[in-house]
Structure formats: structure tokens, C-alpha cells
Amino acid sequence: MDNEMANPMATEGTPQTLPSPKSAGSGNATAGSRQYSGLTVLEEEDFISTNVPLSGRVEEEGHGYFHWEIDNWTQLPDRVISKTFTVAGHDWDILLFPRGNGVNDTVSLYVEYKPKDAGEDWHVCAMFGLAMSNAEDPTLFKNSVSHHRFTAEESDWGFTRFVELRHVMTPDADSRALLEKGRVRISAFLRVIKDPLGVLWHNFHNYNSRKHTGFVGLRNQGATCYMNSLLQSLYFTTEFRNAVYQIPTENDDPKRSVALALQRVFYNLQDSDEAVDTTELTKSFGWDSLESFMQHDVQEFNRVLQDNLETKMKGTVVDGAMARLFEGKMKSYIRCVNVDYESSRVENYYDISLNVKGCATLRDSFANYCEVEMLDGENKYQAEGFGLQDARKGVIFESFPPVLQLQLKRFEYDFQRDAMVKINDRHEFPPTIDLGEFLADDADRSQPWTYALHGVLVHSGDLHGGHYFGLLRPTAEDRWYRFDDDRVVPVARDEVFEEYYGGEFPQPAQPATAVPGMRTRPNSKRFTNAYMLVYIRESLRDKVLGGEAAAPAHLLRRVQEDRAEEARRQREKAELAHTLAVKVVSDKQFAQHQSFDLSYFDQRQPASNPLFEERMPRDMTVRDFAAHYAERTGCALGSFRLWTMVGRVNKTVRCEVPLVGAALDMTLAQVLESRMPRWTDMRLYCETCPEDGPEDFLDEKPPLRTNLIHAKFFDPETFTMRGLGSLYARNTQMVQEIMPKLRAMAGLPPDTPIVLYEEVKPSLIEPIVLTLNFRQAEIQTGDIICFQIEPSDTSVPRVPDFFDSVQHRISVSFVPHPTRADDERTASGASSPDAEPLTITTSSKTPYDNVAQLVADHLGMSDPLKLRFYTVSPTGQPRQPVRRTPTTTLAEMLPSAMFMQPSLNNKGLHEYTVMYERLEVDIVQIENMRTIRVTFVGRTMRDEHQLEVLVPKDSSAQALMEATYSKIEQLLRTQQRSAAGGSAVPPKPFSLRFYVVGYHRVLFELNGSEHMNLGTPGVSDVVAELCTSDDTTAEDAMMDTAEDRPSKNVEVFHFYRDLSHAHSVPFLFPIYQNEPWRDTWTRLQRRLGMGEKDSDNNSSPATTADDSVCLWDLLEQQQQRENELAEQRIESKDEEDQKKGLDVAGFIGLHHVDRASRHRNLHHERAIRILN
């Protein structure tokens, strides 16, 4: 920094907190008290070690000090620079502002770095202290310390309020002043700090990840940090990236292809210099913008993404690539001790979930996972052919995949708290680990099973929210980087293997003056810790990480086209600053305009009647634009003149003044700013000069008090309006005097009676009194007169009727309700009128019955009252049904403008969508009926259908059951017809079991006699469960029909994290006496419709029962305690009535994410779903 131009105000720093010094020699930068101690500023080594100690893990290049003796303080200028001094090979000086730097009555002090290289890409890190001391007594001083990364942008740093002047000049009662006889000493103590990673104390302003690390990050869309950290980990797995690149995507739709979107993300991570956007990827998932603001679990996302990609790879050259990279095998076994019998099952896995609680290291977690359990005593194993036997039960790995993904179970259910909690315990993971000891004896050991850590996905936060980032080692080289969304920075190896183990923060050292027994600060847990680990097998590391992934040619072509398009948009954006849009309406457009004003200047202008519209340079003159307009439209230059148009208070757009004479030399920007400052575009009217027009048409304005009036003619027979052009009228001229001119313009006989109206605004069309002059009638330049032949009777439409129709004219599309389509209408396979929506243009004032008749005629229905209409939400979903009353119109069927802005069609009309539903009874009868939501569950809980059943309001449950049976019979008939290729197949006989659920828990079972008082819709619902012997396997049928085995019903419900966060459909499930839990769980899996992979990854019962334990016995043992709790609890009468109809012996809770996404509350985490 040049001595004369230095301005520390721009780079001033606030001293940052450092470890406390060993004495009182270091004070706050804004404090004004002087320091006293046995230490002096001239004892440099002791002073710097005491007041500027090394902190943390930093190392110094060297340290030094400098003393600046000042003898003439009062004569100093406002800004003074010391001599240059050198510390560790770097040049420095001190900046002094004796009367303050922008702050009065203070002393400001700074350290300034003097770069030897004039370039901008340099930095030096330093810890420093500045001291001001008495020139004769060095034990009397004031000092402050800080540290800083000195750069070209911030080459000086220090303290604006180092000390107040009064503390410098005024002595204390028992000491001398710092400044005596104009003399004072200023000292600097510096430590130059090593910066091996290049980011020490970096403020990350204008930080370029690619330049500093060779990598780029991913932009966070709101809460997609979990996705970003995982994608970076997968990207650096080169073999995985190659497999993704080889998925055929050349003909895929970029908006719907997950594989293509992921290919683009990976290529941009390779090639882009900026952080990569993932919006296209999440859109390919089928996600909306709301999903991008919802936090999800990184492990769950990993599983869903891998499942999706594995499906896309089937039948391609990379079929099986996911399994080769991520799939391992494990064996669950029960091995008898005294006889030669073993029961085992081999399963595939893609990741392993390991316990953190109770495990200090990763090896401890594996040992815990493979821990052998003895089955003896009362817990002996029933071995087939051998009876009850002592046995060992456990899990052993048969193989580990090349890329081993480990999830640390940081989130667990706490039975004492009755809630999910985050486990922040310390859990150490090594750089390498040998997993051979956890392999089966017959496993392949031709190569060592040693794994090296290459990724740590870190979660910072608690159960209800937080942030993910990744610590990744991209290559075999032991260099680590932190991938934190769009920022990539190098990190020290020690940070990876210490900072994110979890556990407690280190307790600060006990001060020497501490009193024995004094209360210490309680330890606090680190809430930022490792959540997912990625290990790569060392013997396969070169294959997994080696080579360079080559993007497919079509992807390169698409990316280049997109970049060219983006460059074009950027150029257009730059051009916008130098151009403006000019829109011109002429009499040609005015003649065809069928609405208010001369035309519309926005999207409402029909495509069939376009205006002249171009972007023109802002500095173009009106004269030059007129020439350009004449050339583009074919008009003769000099045959027209342009008028400015302005927006009036009543929201109309009308002509104001002609651009003639000197105005022709004004620029377009000047005209816009002076005449139309509220608009970003210029709106003009082109007036054609009449054949007998004045010679000064282009040079002079119309005579004073002469108005330009526009005329429209309304034809009631065709119900159309025609713009006739314009005419001039004086203020004192009577309105009736222009009637001959109007008749001539309309081509009417001279004696035709006409009636005149003024188009004031869309909602105000007033008749004009012919005996008034134009000033009295308040008609001025730009106003519009509409006229028609005087009607012979009142049935003939008038001008106000036309504008009322225009104001309320809309385009409406009627579409069937998405979940209530009539199955019978497609029974024959023929096309249906419902296949295409009915689109009509009509008035929003159309009565309800007229709308119903239009739709019924389109559908071929004889009774329009068997239609019900629904408003549509902004997301396209049906809302509440529209009530039919004598005053209901089409407007009541449309969404409120407060929540939804309608689009415009090519005719400039607002477009709306209304949904309709065919009814079995007419809508009048529905007024006396009630809609009840019924969830029908078929053979498995995954075979779920939502039904809405109409029953009379005063009916019993029997009516509901009969109506539901009819609907389900119709549904099954359709399904069987579809399975039979379209032929009519009657449904097989079936039976149903009904029960009422509330808040996703079973309340009571229906027997038909209950009155249907179910509470609020959505809170209480009915479940109809299919019961048929054909729905079970032979094994289940034998068990379920075994009359000699007593059975009890238990309620099975679903929850996530907290028991109060129930979701999905609960159901009743039978358990049998003497049935081991493993058999119960197998039956339950089949009832749920879960495959092996689903049961391993996505769901687990809340019970911790052993496989051989009988659930029946557990419930019997707890029955006494349940009875005591039931006696203590005070129940309401409704609860008592409901319990009478529910006979359950206990509950089974299934813990998993709600994959049906029924919860729309943002406080509940929704399941991740990739829809494409």
C-alpha cells in the first residue's frame, strides 16, 4: 500500500478471540485502561510468548518485533507510517492515526504488510500484538492482539479504537500517563504463521474452489446438502461414474431422465469452473421446489438412488455394475452346539448399519454386529429332527464389496424418553481397517480384506434438522478435502480423524487459582460427527478410483448446446440494459380489437392480432424510429405520426400527445422517462394522416382545445365490436355534431338512428348526452366513443352488455376428477368423452345449471344433476366441491385470484380448470348424504385404494359396509377384466372386515350396528380389509385355519422416530400360541407385501423379541401390568365405547419412513421418492 494513499478504514478488523495470555498484558481492543505488570515491552521474547502465544495447531515461520519511538506526538499529521521492518523474510510497517481513523478522540493502530511481489494472488498469515508504552517506563503499556490473513484486498489490519486519547494523555492517580512530553513508544510483535493448506483464516470472498483445489462444489437448493455430499462421494468413485456414463440416454427426455441428469451433473463436476447446479437432477426425480427445502436422510437417499440406477442399468452394458461395486453378502445362522445341525440364510446388502452406542471404535461396531448369542436354558432352539437344542445365533460376512458404505447409527429410539434421539457419543474410525476377522471361514482370502477410508459424510445438528457435508479423499493420495455444498477446501488429515469422532468437547485446563471443590463447567457433546463412512478395498483401489471417466459424445453435445444457449441468454440480458421494448398499435389492430381500449399491450393481446413490437436502442431518436417503423410495416414515411400513450388512474391506456416537431429529435429513453416513467416499455399509437389532412401534420400538434377521439361500432347481431379509427372534435362542439361523421365511418345511411356511449373503464360504460358539448361531457383526447344502431326493443344487446361479457369472458377446461373416474365408462375399451377435456369460452356469470348442462351434453349424460364440480388448487389438485344454489355461477367454481394467477390462452383469455365427478345419485339427494373416506386394502398392505362412499347422514354402519362392498366389487371386476385382456370376468366371492382408524391407529371394529359418527374427515377414517382364503399361501392357510391353535389379534401400526408420529394404514393381525417370533415376523412380512430387501433396509419392528421367543407368551406376561395401567387411566365415554369394539391383545410398532407421503406437515420428514 502506498504511504500516501493507505486507508485502513476499508480493511479494519475487530480483534478476534485468542487463548488467554499468561498475564494481564493483553487487553480488549476497545479498552482504554493501562496495563501494569513486571513484564515490559522491551523484554521482547517474554512479551511475545506471553501476549501473542501460538494457538491451536498452527506453526510459525518465524517471529519478531519492532519499536517505534515518537518524540513529537502533538506535531504528527493525521496519518503516520513507521519505518519498514522485516519479520521472517516479510516486510511490515505500522500505520498510526494519532487522532483516530474516522472515530474522534481515539488512537487507531494497524499493521500493514508490504508485498515484495506486486501481483494480487498473494497472502501472508500472521498473529500480532500492538502495544503503546511510556517511553521512560516500559512496564506501563496498553496492548491488543489479533490475527489476520493479509491479502491484496486486506493488506492492513488492526484496531480503530486502540485506546482513547484521554487515557493516553491523562495520568492515573497512582501512575504516569503513556504520553509524556510528546514522547511515546509504539511496538509491534509478530508471528508469521505457516499455511500449508492455503486457506488459514480465509474469509472466502471471491474464493475459487477449482483454482485452489482442482474441484468444484454443488449448489444447495435449500436443504439438499445431504444429496450434495453423497453425489460428491459417488462422483469420485470413478468406476461408478463410468457406469453412469454408459447408461444409454441419447434419446432420453432431460426433464424426466434421472440417468441423463446425473450424467450432466458428473460431467459439469469434471469440466465446470463454477459450482454445479442440481435443479435439473431433482426435477428429473419428479420433485417440486418444496421437496428441495425438506431435509432427508443421506443413507435413505443413497438407497433410493442406487435402486433407481440399478433399474436403469438392467439390459445394458453396465447391467450388474451396482452390485459389483456395492454389494456384499452376509449369512445369518443358528448353529447347534451338541448336534450337527445349522439353519442359515445368505442375504445381499448394499450398506451396513453399525451401532455407535456402546462401541468406542469401528472395530467394536463390527464385533457388536457379529456378536454370537447363546440360545440355551428356556431359550433353546427347536432344531428340525433334533428337538430343543443349545445353539449359537449370529451373523457372519461372506464377502465385502469393493466400495463399503457404512452407516453409523447416530439416530436411535430411546425407550426411556419414548422418542428418537441423536447419539453424539465418541466413535473412532481408523484410516485403514482389516475386516478379515469378520469373514466366514470358507471366504475367499486370496487377497487381503484391508479397507482404506476415502469418505466421511458428516451430520451437524440434531434430530430435527442440521447440515451435511463430506470429507473426501478423491484419489489414493492421502489428501483430504471438505465438500461443503458449493465450497471445496483442503483439510488436514488430523481434522478428519479427530474432529468428527463425536463425544465431548475437551475440558479447558483448570486454572491454578481454582478453589478445590469449585463447580466446573459441565462437558458438552459435539453435535457435528461422522454419520456415514466410505471405505474402499485397498487391493481394488486402483480399479475403483483409477482411470478417467469419459463422458458420452451425445452428452458433450447437449452440454455444449446448453452452454451456447446460456451464453446467448447472457448476451440478451446484457443487451436489455441498452435497449427498450417499443410497442405500436395502429388502426389495423384497433379495427380487430374486441375488448377495452385500443388494444392490449401485454399477454392478453390475441396472437391473431399482434402489435408491432421490437427492442430498440435506448439512444435512438423518435425520427429514426419512425423511419424504421415505416420500413418494417410498409407505411409511407410522412403518412403517419406517433402518439404517446399513458396509463390513467382508472387503469386504462389512452393517447396523450403526438411526437411531432422537436419531439422527433428526442431519444426513446427520454420520451419513456418523461411521458411514461411507470413503464419499462414504450407504448405508441400510429395515427394515419387523412387524405385531406393538414400540411403541418408531422410538425404541429392539433389546434388548441381540439381532441383526438377514437370511435368503435357495435353490431348486436354478430355481437362484435369494430374499431373505426379516429376523428377530431373541439371542446365547444356539440356531441351530436359528430354523428354524421360516425355514420359515415360505420357505413350507415345518413338517417340511421344511433346511440352513443363513452368507454370510461371496463366496469363503467356510460351513455352520452347528445345535447352537451365535449367539455361538458368530459370527453378529451384519447377517449373512446362506442355507438350502435338504436335498438328497436329491449331484447337487443347493447354496448354495455358487450363489455360486461368481455370483462367476464374466460376459457374453462372441464376435466374428470383424478381419483373418482367411473370404471364402467371404459368397460368396453371404447373411447370415452372423458378422455379429452371439454374447453368452452363463456362468461364467469353463467349459472351453475347451464354449466352442468354443457358438460352433461359433452359427456352424453341425460341428467346434468348427476355431476358434481370441484375447484382446483394451484398444484392442480381438486379442492372442495362446489355447492349448487340458485345463485351459484361459474365464478364460484374458479380458484380465488388471491391464491392463483390464471394463465392466458392465445386469444388473450384467462384459462381455468374445473374438475367434475359423475355421481350415482343426483346432487340434490347428496345434500342429505355424507361422504366417508374408506381405505380398501387387498391381499397385502401395499394393495391400497382410496374410496369415497356416499351414505345417508342418519344411516348405520351397515349402509356404509354395503355401499363399500359394491364399490370394491366394481374395482375388483375392473382389475380382473384388465388381467384377462378385456373380457368380462365376474369377481370371485370375497369378504371384508371393517374398522375405524384415527390418527393412523385402530379405534374399533365395525359390526354394522354403529351410528356413523366418525368425527372430522381425515382424522377418523374407515378401513375395509379384504379377507379371503385365496390371499394366503398354503403355509398361512394351514396356520390361520388351525382351530386347535388359540389366536389373538394385535394391532400393527407404523411410525417414524416418535411413537406419536404414526403414519400409513394400521391393521389387525393374528398371533398364535407357541408360534416363534421368526414365524410371526415372516407372516407379517407377507401381509405387508415386503420383499427381503425391504425388510432389511426399510422397516423394523419396535419389539426387540428374540427369533425363538413367542409373542403370545410376552403378551401374557405383560397382561397384569396392562390391566393395572388400564385401571389407572381415566377414559372418556367415547373412548370406552370405542374400546368395547376393539379386542386386541397388544401392539406391534413398525419403525420406517412414510413412503406414501401422507404427511404434508413440514415438521414430519417425508420419504424420499424418485418418481421417474
Q: Tell me, yes or no, if 655 is annotated catalytic.
A: no
- 361 has which bridge partners? 428
Integer CA distances (angstroms), 1141 to 244, 388, 1003, 1026, 1128, in order: 55, 40, 8, 19, 21
Handedness of CA 1009, 1015, 1016, 1021 (dihedral sign): negative
Looking at the chain, the number of H-run helices and the number of E-run strands are 26, 51
Q: For residue 258, report the phi and psi dihedrals to the nearest 5 degrees.
A: -65, -40
- 93 has which bridge partners? 112
- 683 has which bridge partners? 583
What is the grid cell recorded at 720?
362484435
Crossing angle between the packed helical segments 225-235 and 298-313, to the nearest 10 degrees? 50
Q: Which secondary structure element, helix H or strand E, spans residue 738, and what is its range?
A: none
Q: Kindly report the CA angle at 738 between 735 and 740, in degrees rounded to 5?
A: 135
- 1049 has which bridge partners? 1070
What is the grid cell recorded at 728?
377530431
Pick from 18, 22, 56, 19: nearest CA to 39 = 22
Pick from 399, 378, 385, 383: nearest CA to 335 = 383
Q: State how beta strands 867-872 and 991-998 pair.
A: unpaired
Integer CA distances (angstroms), 130 to 75, 222, 815, in order: 22, 43, 77
What is the grid cell recorded at 781?
383526447
Measured CA to CA, the distance from residue 994 to residue 1008 in angstroms comes to 9
Measured CA to CA, the distance from residue 168 to residue 136 in angstroms comes to 14
Question: Which residues does 300 contact at the CB level (< 8 Å), separation at least 6?
Answer: 1153, 1167, 1168
E strand segments, 285-339: 328-336
**DSSP annotation of 767:** E
Q: State how beta strands 579-585 and 682-688 pair.
A: parallel
Q: State how beta strands 184-193 and 156-164 pair.
A: unpaired
Pick from 240, 222, 449: nearest CA to 230 = 240
In sequence order, what DSSP letters do the residues of 335-383 get, joined into one string? EESSSS-EEEEEEEES-EEEE-TT-SBHHHHHHHHT--EEE-GGG-EEE
What is the grid cell recorded at 992?
371384508
Question: Which residues does 739 contact at the CB level (< 8 Å), separation at least 6?
Answer: 754, 756, 770
Q: Residues 926, 868: contact at Cβ < 8 Å? A: yes
How far is Cα of residue 903 from the mean position of the Cα atoms in its chain? Answer: 24
Show the 3-state SS of 478-508: CCEEEEECCEEEEECHHHHCCCCCCCECCCC
Measured CA to CA, the distance from residue 920 to residue 596 in angstroms comes to 45
Measured CA to CA, the distance from residue 357 to residue 851 in angstroms comes to 66
Q: Tell me, yes or no, if 225 is annotated catalytic.
A: yes
Q: Which of 125, 225, 359, 786 is catalytic?
A: 225
Question: Which residues does 800 contact at the CB level (< 8 Å), separation at least 6?
Answer: 757, 765
Q: Kindly report the CA angle at 860 between 858 and 866, in degrees rounded to 5?
A: 95
Q: Which positions are annotated as active-site residues?
A: 225, 467
